[in-house]
Amino acid sequence: MTGASSWSFREEDATRIGALLNSLLREANARTALLVDRTGQMLATAGEEPQFDPVAFASLTAADFSANDQLARMLGENEFGALFHQGDKDSLYLADVARRVILVVLFDNRTTLGLVKLRVRGVVEALSALFTAMFARESAGEVRMETGFVGEAEDEIDKLFGS
Amino acid sequence: MSLINYASREINCKLVYYGPGLGGKTTNLEYIYEKVAPASKGKMISLATETERTLFFDFLPVDLGTIRGFKTRFHLYTVPGQVYYNASRKLILKGVDGVVFVGDSQLDRMEANIESMQNLYDNMAQHGLDLTRIPFVVQYNKRDLPNAAPLGQLQEALNPGWPVEDPARQRALVDPNRPGEMLVQELDGGWVERVPYFEAVALRGDGVFDTLRAISKLVLKTIG
């Protein structure tokens, strides 16, 4: 067993992921694509700027996916690899990426669920390969912030939370 | 698991408030939400039952501001305390960076405290995490109630200390929050470590920020 670990998301990761998400949006005619880490943190967004609070959205997405994972296990399934939430105007399609990340596609009636599903499948494969490589890189060495970070952060904590 | 996002220049850390039902976990978050400057807090989300008992979790993001070019944010979560919501509790612990155990000081809640602490160890272990190796603090809430147990009794039951095996850590360490008390000390020929603990009356805010300050500093030390 271990203590908590950290991982990092680099500029070049963001560029490659951004390109994949933007091509997905074009091909699926969807509005916004978001990548959320399974612990509830937003990693990347592409397409139309979301009109909701992205931090809260990420937290709820991770909880939604985790709860459904447990439901899947109760049915004897390994997982539900994808989820669909249908609204009157806007809908969400969520897909697992490498068991660590969730791809969320927000779309409206300018496209169809079938097309979104079809395009997501291809992108999930490419994203999975990318994230698997990223996680392998992280496990090779611990992620640390530069010297001086902790001192400054402690000052901010004292200011914000009272000393 | 803290995430350092070099692309968006953000650092996010996940703190989880754990403990028995009706112990004051949500009250801690509500007080923080009420007192933190509006610019530093996000939307608080509570997935609760109709009777306001936590069903899945409460969530509150708190921004520390930009430090060395990185927007630093803590994600505060509570878990449902009631015994039968264990599946939800376990899910929330995924990727946790620091844990606050909110104990209920009342004598008749001692058993519930112990059961919840044991459940915390077990659920962490199922995520492959060792509670003795991650940032962890204990808060004894409801210190104002007449049937509150003495601190010594609570410490003995919930924070008795664990053996320190690593020779590098076998050195006396004073509790910075409690002069005269030790976090690491030699006892009967062996070394033991306890986690920092705080007294609180969360309803009126006593001890709430002391606890939050301690756990957030411990978490940031792990990435700096």
Q: Is the pLDDT of residue A141 over 70?
A: no
* Beta strand pairing call for B70-78 and B98-104: unpaired
Please indicate whether residue A95 or residue B189 has the higher confidence score (pLDDT).
Answer: A95
For residue B110, give every residue at least 6 positions away whose Cβ sits within 8 Å of its Cβ, in sequence order, or none.
Answer: B149, B153, B154, B157
Handedness of CA B162, B163, B169, B175 (dihedral sign): positive
Domain ranges of chain B: 3-159+195-223, 161-194
Residue A6 lies inside a defined structural domain of this protein: no
Structure tokens at A58: 């990420």
The CATH number of the domain holding residue A86 is 3.30.450.30
Residue B70 contacts A where some CB pair is shorter than 8 Å: yes
As a whole number of angstroms, the distance between CA A65 and CA A70 comes to 9
Which of B14, B88, B223 is nearest residue A39 as measured by Cβ atoms? B14
B6 has a chain A CB within 8 A of its CB: yes
Hey, is B51 helix, strand or coil?
coil
- Which stretches of A56-160 are assigned E, i.e. beta strand? 82-85, 91-97, 101-107
Whether the CB-CB separation of A3 and A11 falls below 8 Å is answered with: no
The span from the first CA to the last CA of chain B, in angstroms, equals: 14
Per-position pLDDT tens, chain B of length 224: 678 888 888 999 999 999 999 999 999 999 999 999 999 998 899 888 878 888 888 999 999 989 988 999 999 999 998 888 888 899 999 999 999 999 999 999 999 999 999 999 999 999 999 998 999 999 999 999 999 999 999 999 999 999 998 898 899 999 988 888 999 999 888 999 999 999 999 999 999 999 999 999 999 998 87
Pairing assessment for the beta strands B136-141 and B162-163 based on DSSP bridges = unpaired
The reported pLDDT for the residue numbered A18 is 95
Dihedral pair phi/psi, residue B144, rounded to 5°: -85, -10
Nearest to B134 among A3, A37, A163 (CB): A3
Dump pLDDT digits (tens) for A107-131: 999 999 999 999 999 999 999 999 9
φ and ψ of A9, to 5 deg: -130, 115
Tell me which residues of chain A, numbers 6 to 35, contact chain B at a CB-CB cutoff of 8 Å: 6-11, 13-15
Cβ atoms < 10 Å from Cβ of A47: 18
Residues of chain A contacting B135 with CB distance shorter than 8 Å: 4
N-term to C-term CA, chain A: 34
Provide the phi-psi class of B52: left if phi over 0, else alpha when psi is between -120 and 50, else beta: left
pLDDT of residue A5: 66
**Range 91-130 of A in CB contact (< 8 A) with B:** none
Strand B190-193 to A32-37 pairing? unpaired
Residue A68 belongs to what domain range?
Answer: 11-161
Instruction: Tell me what pLDDT residue A139 has.
Output: 65
pLDDT at residue A140 is higher than 70: no
Closest CA of chain B from A110, distance in Å: 30
- Tell me, what's the pLDDT at B35? 94
Distance of CA A31 to the CA centre of its chain: 16
A163 pLDDT more than 60:
no
Q: Beta B98-104 vs A91-97: how paired, if at all?
A: unpaired
- What DSSP character marks residue A141? S
Residue A71, in any domain of the structure: yes
Average pLDDT over residues A13-31: 96
Q: How far apart are CA B20 and CA B15, in angstroms?
A: 17
At which residue do the structure tokens 């990761």 appear?
A13
- The DSSP code for B69 is T
Distance, CA of B37 to CA of B100 (rounded, Å): 22
Cα–Cα dist B137/B196, whole Å: 5
Task: Give the CATH number of domain B3-159+195-223; options: 3.40.50.1820, 2.60.120.10, 3.40.50.620, 3.40.50.300.
Answer: 3.40.50.300
Predicted model pTM: 0.88
Q: Which long-range contacts (CB under 8 A, 24 or more apart) does B88-92 make?
A: B88/A67, B88/B55, B88/B56, B88/B57, B89/B18, B89/B119, B89/B123, B90/B123, B90/B126, B90/B127, B91/A63, B91/A66, B91/A67, B91/A70, B92/A63, B92/B16, B92/B56, B92/B57
Residue A38 lies in a domain: yes
What sign results for the dihedral spanned by CA atoms B89, B90, B95, B97? positive
Residue of B nearest to A7 (CA): B3
Partner residue opposite A6 with nearest CB, options B1, B128, B209 = B1
Q: Could you give the number of structural domains in chain A?
A: 1
pLDDT at position A66, please?
Answer: 87
Strand, helix or coil at A110? coil
